[in-house]
Amino acid sequence: MASFTKLSSGSWRVQVRRKGRYVSETFLRREDARRWALEAERQVDRGQTPTNSRIARLKTVSDLIDLHIDDMKDVGKAPGRSKDATLQMLKRELGAIGMGDLDRERLVKFARARAAQGAGPVTLSMDIGAIKLVFAHAAAVHGLPVTVEPIDLARVALKRLGLVGKSRERDRRPTDEELERLITHFDANPRQLIPMSRIVKFAVATAMRQEEICRVTWEDYNERTRMLTIRDRKDPRTKAGNDQRIPLLSVSGFDALALIEEQRALRSNADTRIFPYLHRSAGSAFTRACQDLAIQDLHFHDLRHEGTSRLFEAGFAIEQVSLVTGHKDWKMLRRYTHLRPEALHELAARRRA
C-alpha cells in the first residue's frame, strides 16, 4: 500500500511498500503522487522496477534525446559537435512524436524527407543509428518501455530502398607527378607563409593526420631515439590519454626526422609546436593549390593513405605499419591501404637480393 505525507514545504512524499519492495518519491501535488504510486504498484506486481518519477514524466522523442545527452554529460562523455548537431536535428524533425509512437512508417517517411533535402545514404545511416542509440539507452539504462525493433525494421526497408548505406572506401592516392607539382607550387609561392611543401612531405613520411601534424610539440620529439609522441591520438573509443610514440622513418621517399630539423630555424619561444600553424589553414592552402593546379579529387587526408601505402610497399607488415598509423583494428588499416601493383617489382627485387 502507498502512504502519503505532506511535508513542511508543501510537497507530498509518497512511499510504496509492496511484495518486499520499497520506493519513495516527492511531488508538488498530491494527485501526481497518487498517480505515480498506482503505477509503481502495478509495476511491482508485474515484476518490474518502479520507474523514477522524472523518468516517468518523459513522453516524447525529444525527452529521450535530452535524457541521453544529460546522462552522457554526467559520465564525462558529452556528445561532440557532430553528434550533437545530429541529435538537435532529430529533436527538430521527430522530437514532438510520442516515444511509443515512433514506428517504422514514421521513420521511413523521415528518411525520405531527409533524402529529398540532399542527405546521402551514409548521413541517413548515421541518423538512424543515432535514433537507435537513444532508444536503446532509454530501455537499457532507465527501463523505459521503448523498443528498437521498429528502428531495425526501418533500416531494413531503407536499405532496400537504397536510402541508407555504407561509405565507399576511398582509394585516391596522389601520383608522384601530382606530389611534385604541389611541392613546386608551394615553394614557388612567396606569399605562402605556411611551409606547405614541408608539411606535405611530412604527412607522407609519417602518415599523420593534418590536425596531429599541427599539434605535436618540440617536447614530443626525441632526436636521439628518432621518435615522436602524438598526444591524445584519435580513437573510436576515447582519445584522451591515447598517446602514441611513432618512429620517424625515411622509407617513403621523404625523411621525417630531417623535415623536423628543417623546422628548427622557424622555432618560436611563443609557440612550442613543431609546426605552429592552424591545421584548417593548412588544409585550405592544400585545397587551393589543388584547384590552381587542376588536380582533381585530392584531399589532404589522402596523404595519410599515401604514407600508409608506402609503408606497405617498403615491405613492412600490418602490425609494424600500425605502430606508425595508430590503427588498433587491422581491418580498419586495410581501408587506408591501396597498393600499386608496380610496387611488387621492387619488393620482389629486394627478396632476390
DSSP letter for each residue of 61-124: HHHHHHHHHHHHHHTT----HHHHHHHHHHHHHHTTSBTTT--HHHHHHHHHHHHHTT--HHHH
Q: What is the pLDDT of residue 166?
A: 78
Distance CA 301, CA 209 (A): 7
The percentage of the chain sitting over the pLDDT mark of 70, rounded to a whole number, equals 91
**Displacement of CA 68 from its chain's centroid (Å):** 17
Confidence at residue 17, expressed as pLDDT on a 0 to 100 scale: 85
Task: Report which secondary-structure segment, H or E, holds 285.
Answer: helix 279-292
Tell me the C-alpha distance between 23 and 45, whole Å. 14
β pairing state of 221-222 and 244-247: unpaired
- Provide mean pLDDT across the span 261-284: 93
Burial of 335 (C-beta count, 10 Å sphere; 0-12/13-18/19+): middle
- Where residue 126 falls among pLDDT bands split at 50, 70, 90? very high
Cell numbers 621492387 correspond to 346
With beta carbons less than 8 A apart as the criterion, state whether 53 and 36 touch: yes
Confidence of residue 34 (pLDDT cuts 50, 70, 90): confident
* Helix, strand and coil in the chain, % to nearest 5: 55, 10, 35
Fold of 176-352: hpI Integrase; Chain A (1.10.443)
- Which residues are CB-contacts of 286 (< 8 A; sequence separation ≥ 6)? 182, 196, 200, 299, 300
What is the reported pLDDT for 14? 84
Out of 30-39, 75-84, 108-117, 338-347, least confident range:
338-347
CB 202 within 8 A of CB 259: yes
* 3-class SS of residue 24: strand
Categorize the per-residue pLDDT at 336 as very low, low, confident or very high, splitting at 50, 70 and 90: low
Distance CA(3)–CA(63), nearest Å, equals 30
Tell me which amino acid residue 260 is: I
The pLDDT score that the predictor gives to residue 218 is 97
User: What does the pLDDT look like over 216-237, one tens digit per residue?
Assistant: 999 999 999 999 999 989 876 6
Residue linked to cell 591520438: 233
**pLDDT score for 95:** 94
167: pLDDT strictly greater than 70:
no
What's the chain's average pLDDT?
88
- Round to whole Å and give the CA distance between 64 and 70: 10
Query: Does 146 score more than 80 pLDDT?
Result: yes
| pLDDT at residue 240 greater than cutoff 70 | no
* Phi and psi at residue 166, to the nearest 5°: -85, 160
pLDDT at 291 over 70: yes
